[in-house]
Amino acid sequence: MSGLKRSWVSSANGAGCPFPLNNLPYGVFSTGDQEPRCGVAIGDMILDMAAVQARGLIDLGAPDLFDMPYWNDVMELGPKGWTALRARLLQILAEGAPEQAELAPCLVPMAEAELHMPIAVSEFTDFYAGRHHATNVGTMFRGAENALPPNWLHIPIGYNGRASTVVVSGTDVIRPNGQIKPPGADRPVFGPCARLDFELEVGAIVGGNTEMGQMLSVADADAMIFGYVLLNDWSARDIQAWEYQPLGPFQAKAFATTISPWIVSAAALAPFRTPTPTREVPLLPYLAEPGPTLFDIDLSVAIQPKGAPRATTICRTNYREMYYSAAQQLAHHASSGCAMNVGDLLGSGTVSGPERENRGSMLEISWGGKEPLTLETGESRSFLEDGDTVTLSGAAQGRGYTIGFGACSGTIRPARNFDQRGDHP
């Protein structure tokens, strides 16, 4: 964890700045009526990469890589291209770089920019790889004796999610409608979710392609991960409870998934690598970890009700709590010969820790609604209410610097009435 790398962008050198030269995360932004394009966060500024390339200050061997509303084309360059990109950025943004004068006009104040989805999501897969979360949820649903399914210690359990509703931080989340079977009722009703939840997760962004039929080692999978974001896997617990047997969550998870706007590269996180926890039973060889593939990233969740003067932090945990890493999940994903693509997004599963204050969902925090939480502003919460803003935060703490992720935030809007569902477009 070598110390802070100093930049000529002075705000990047401030104590606790989430975007020092060590970080250089990748996002997509727009200003005024300009089209969204690729940018890199540095201090309180965004480096307009389209402008940088237009001035000939970076050359990765392909034109128009950055005048795009996503980083997919850069990902297609592969790890060598990613390394060259980061090396060049570290060079030209470093304190004393001769390019400073030429680059300065390419900086845009972050406060003036709108942030967009950083990638075109190819497919979204969500995992269930947090030991504490799986144990908590399993205990609630199946009892303490049957908390962990028999396959859980062998397989990074996952399911395919919905890519069409992955949205960037700041996008409102409309409370979903769905089939719900009230306790004791004979039949389900259709109506607004009454047990709306968040899930604190980390998302891994796949930056390579595999052919159908090709398998991946964990080492190769690890090298294919372009970077990481925070991810909120919004969940409708009452819809989920009624629909999920036998084929898994479907509409309960389909209405929205929020990610943070900045992709923190695997390279920036390299100093924070940490191995997965000790195995209770040995893993099959295809899932063996070749070296540390998890990361030490502090995570937290805050809720701010509409009109409340401040947010209450309701969870603090760390990504290193996961039982399986994203590299192991990706290796498992490809193990059947499933083709993986640039832009695939893998959700880690809820990152809970061992204590109540480490629980990464309302379902766990309120223990299925039985133990409501009191916020600092006095409100009580078992699940999310309309107007609540949920914000996930994440940071890796180096010696003298911080690798921040930027907020992953969403505000709950009231459910729509089916009769006002809108016309077919």
- What is the closest distance, in whole angstroms, from the C-beta atom of residue 7 to a copy of itself in the complex? 33
Which of 205, 236, 269, 314 touches a copy of itself by CB under 8 A? 236
Which of 3, 16, 109, 213 touches a copy of itself by CB under 8 A? 213
Comparing CB distances to a copy of itself, the nearer of 165 and 313 is: 165
End-to-end CA distance of the chain: 53
Comparing CB distances to a copy of itself, the nearer of 162 and 316 is: 162
- What is the closest distance, in whole angstroms, from the C-beta atom of residue 399 to a copy of itself in the complex? 33
Which of 26, 66, 228, 255 touches a copy of itself by CB under 8 A? 255
CA dihedral 123, 383, 136, 269 (to 10 degrees): 50
Kindly identify the residues of this chain, within the stretch 339-378, that bind a copy of itself according to CB under 8 A.
Answer: 339-341, 344
35: how many CB neighbours lie within 10 A of its CB? 11
- In eight-state DSSP terms, residue 91 is H
For residues 225 and 327, the answer to whether their CB atoms sit within 8 Å is: yes
Position 91 contacts a copy of itself (CB under 8 A)? no
The gap from C-alpha 84 to its chain's centroid, in whole angstroms, comes to 25
Q: What gap in Å lies between CA 133 and CA 257, rounded to an integer? A: 18
- Residue 173, phi-psi category: left (phi > 0), alpha (psi -120 to 50), beta (remainder): beta
116 catalytic per annotation: no
One DSSP character per residue, 232-250 reads E--EEHHHHHHH-TTT--S
For residues 93 and 21, the answer to whether their CB atoms sit within 8 Å is: yes
Comparing CB distances to a copy of itself, the nearer of 92 and 231 is: 231
Which helix (H) or strand (E) is 228 found in, with range?
A: strand 225-232
Q: Using CB under 8 A as the criterion, what x/- string covers residues 273-312 for binding a copy of itself?
A: --------x--xxx--------------------------
Position 122 contacts a copy of itself (CB under 8 A)? yes
Point out the catalytic residue in the list 116, 132, 133, 332: 133
246: how many CB neighbours lie within 10 A of its CB? 4
Kindly identify the residues of this chain, within the stretch 135-174, that bind a copy of itself according to CB under 8 A.
Answer: 149, 151, 154-155, 157-165, 167, 174
Comparing CB distances to a copy of itself, the nearer of 16 and 337 is: 337
Active centre residues (catalytic) = 133
